[in-house]
Every structure is written in structure tokens, then in C-alpha cells.
Amino acid sequence: MADENEPVDEEAMMAEWEAMAAEGEEDAEKSGDDNEQMAAEWEAMADSDGGEAAEDDEDGPSSGRVLDQDEIDSLLGFDGDADAGEMTGIHALINSALVSYERLPMLDIIFDRMVRMMSTSLRNFTSDNIEVSLDNITSVRFGDYLNSIPLPAMLGVFRAEEWDNYGLMTIDSSLIYSIVDVLLGGRRGTAAMRIEGRPYTTIEQTLVERMISVVLKDMCGAFEPLSPVNFTFDRLETNPRFATIARPPNAAVLIKLRVDMEDRGGRLEVLFPYATLEPVRELLLQRFMGEKFGRDTIWETHLATELWRADVDLNAIMDEVSMSLGDVMNFEVGQTILFNKTPNDEVILKCGDVPMVSGAIGRAGQHVAVMVRHTADRLVLEDENGMGMN
């Protein structure tokens, strides 16, 4: 151990510090080289992974590939045309309970006609300015519709006599209170009061029944040009469970109408199960009134008229004999051929191969004539019975 009083050799200490600093620089340079080498190795690995990913993209999707926004929208089903009702992906699975059924074009025409008739009828019924508009016509499941009805509401069940089935009419609370207010002399310019938490009174139910009768009468008039049907009021319910007219999974057509009375009004919905419309399904598939699925009455009449004016050639068949081709080839001039006919037997007049009439042959002036005795119907009947025509 050195003596504390011994003087410190400063030059030796400085030399030792310089040596330590030089070793540190060498270590730093060595570690820097190592870091650069490691970075180069990582870059090489990344390049090789990128090449493999590119090859995977050519052969098929890679597990490490990131989806872009368009592919995400397609997967989730948000790239479909919502207005056209097209749904894909997860969105289609979520909405798989929706009904996809054939469109009935004639319903649009029928309820457009009904809207015009209702506007006039309800004006006469309420003595007020009423505007009725058609919102849309959609397909729903009957059970889903009953669960979606906002309460309180009144549900009128009506029967289609000729179709032997039922329909449903829903009047929301806003329209109920508006009709009651108008019919009982409510002041104009004030919104209809909505009182919740109580059942509808007998007066309110009676007034709504009268309005339903007016709407059903207009609906009969709207369907009359297509297929005459009589809609009769059956009952009025306030609980959707008691208004069940079809099984919950059954498909139905929902027609939503809007009734506006200046600053008041509400919604009226008509629901037809497809089973109710089945008797007139073929008629509802028409695109316009009177469509005959390819038939045109004007051209039919014109074609029938021209056919009656057409000229045809008739051949008078005296008799027919079956002979071999060899006998025919051996015919000679002046040879006599015998037929199993007498002058009193009938001859048949044919148009082509079709027998038309038959009668007795004779003479009228300088012409050979045939007196018609039987028509083609008689000839066909005799042929079917095996009596023969020749």
C-alpha cells in the first residue's frame, strides 16, 4: 500500500486515462459495426419476407396481408346497393330474417287508386281538408310486424269474402286522436292531445270503426277493376296478440299510408298475408290493368277478320283406293280403275288433308256441284267411332 504522503504521479495517471479512453472508442466502434451488421441482417430478412409475401399474393392470400377499406366493406356487407335492397356479407346474415318475395306490380296501381279515393271519402267523412299519401309497399313477416307495432294503437281485422281470408288494418294513436278531435268539433290549429296510460273509450272505438268502414269501402272500389272483392269489418282489437290472422313466420305485404289533416294526422297501415292474395296472385303480377300475358285483343280481332276473308282451295274426294307402287307404274292409257262408290254416295270436300264438309254430288247448270249434308264436326265424330269417312 502506497504511502498517503507520497506525491501522486500525475503524468502516469493521465496516461492511464488516455489508455482507457482509447479502449472505449475501440469498443464503441466495434459495437457500432455489430449494430450495422445486425441492421443489415434485419433488412435482408425483411426483403426475403416481402418476396415470399409477393409470391403468396400471386399464389393465394397471405396470412399476414392487410385488407384495404373496400375489402372490409365487402366483408361486412356495406358495399351493396341499399336502395335496391341488395345485401351481402355479414350484413346479409344479420338481416336474413327479412322477407324476399316476388314483387306484385299491380298493388302499386291499386293503392294509388285507393289513395285518391280515400282523399275524397275522408274529406266527406270529416268535413276537413285531408291529404292521403302512399309511403311504400314492403314485404314483412307477420310475427315481426306485430312485435313492431307502436302501442297504443287500434288494429282492425277485416275479411275478404271472395278470397275467404283475412287482412289487418293498423291505426296509430296520432291518427286516432286526430280523427276523434276532428269528428267531435276540436279547434283547428291545435295539435291533437295524446293521453297515455288509459284504454280507448267506447266513443273513440266507435268513431275509428266508422273510419275503417270508409277505408274498406274505398279498398273494395280500388280492387274492383282487377277482381271484385268485398271487404267486411270483423272486429277491433287493441292488443296485437288478439289480432293474429296468420302464423308468425308467414310472409305478408305491408302498405303504409299517411293521413294529414293540416297540422294533425297519423299513419294507417294495411297488411295482407300472401295467403290472402293467393287467389288473385296471377292478376297482381300484371304490369298494367288488362294485361293478358302476351295476348293482344286488337291483333286477335284483326287476325280473325283476315282469316274469314282468306281464300282456300277445296278438293272433292270421290273415293280413295290403296294400291302398290308397281301397279301404279303399270297404268296404261284407257285402263279402268274400279272404286267402291255409286253415284248416290257422298263425297268429301277437303282443305289439304283436313275434311271440311261432305255431301251429294250433282250438277248445277254447266258446273259440277256438291250439296252439303254434313259438317266437319260430324265427319270427325264418325271417323272416331270407326264408321269411316270414305
> What confidence tens digit (pLDDT) does each residue in 80-123 have?
554 444 555 565 555 555 545 557 788 888 888 889 888 888 88
% of the chain exceeding 70 in pLDDT? 69
Per-residue model confidence (pLDDT) at position 70: 75
Per-residue model confidence (pLDDT) at position 110: 87
The grid coordinates of residue 262 equal: 293540416
Per-residue model confidence (pLDDT) at position 57: 47
Residue 170, strand partner residues: 155, 269
- Cβ distance 223 to 107 under 8 Å? no
- Cβ distance 173 to 198 under 8 Å? no
| Short-list 361, 356, 357, CA closest to 345 | 361
112 or 25, which is more confident? Answer: 112
For the cut 80, the answer to whether the pLDDT of residue 233 exceeds it is: yes
- CA distances (Å), 56 to each of 61, 62, 74, 285, 341, in order? 6, 6, 22, 52, 93
- CA distances (Å), 77 to each of 87, 91, 210, in order? 6, 5, 47
Return the CATH superfamily for domain 105-284. Answer: CheC-like (3.40.1550.10)
Average pLDDT of every residue of the chain: 76
Round to whole Å and give the CA distance between 301 and 295.
Answer: 11
**Most confident residue range from 53-62, 129-138, 206-215, 356-365:** 206-215
- Compute the average pLDDT of residues 153-181: 89
Round to whole Å and give the CA distance between 206 and 228.
Answer: 28
Lowest mean per-residue pLDDT among 69-78, 105-114, 245-254, 257-266:
69-78
Where are the alpha helices (H) located in the chain, listed in sequence order?
10-59, 69-76, 89-94, 105-126, 142-148, 173-183, 202-223, 274-277, 281-284, 297-309, 325-329, 376-384
- Compute the average pLDDT of residues 200-220: 89
Whether the model clears a pTM of 0.75, i.e. scores above it, the answer is: no
- Where are the chain's structural domains? 105-284, 312-384
For 34-63, the pLDDT digits (tens) are: 666 766 776 666 555 555 444 444 444 445
Per-residue model confidence (pLDDT) at position 168: 92
Return the CATH superfamily for domain 312-384. Answer: SpoA-like (2.30.330.10)
Model confidence band, residue 355 (pLDDT cutoffs 50, 70, 90) = confident
How far does the chain reach from its first CA to its final CA, in angstroms? 156
Per-residue model confidence (pLDDT) at position 320: 81
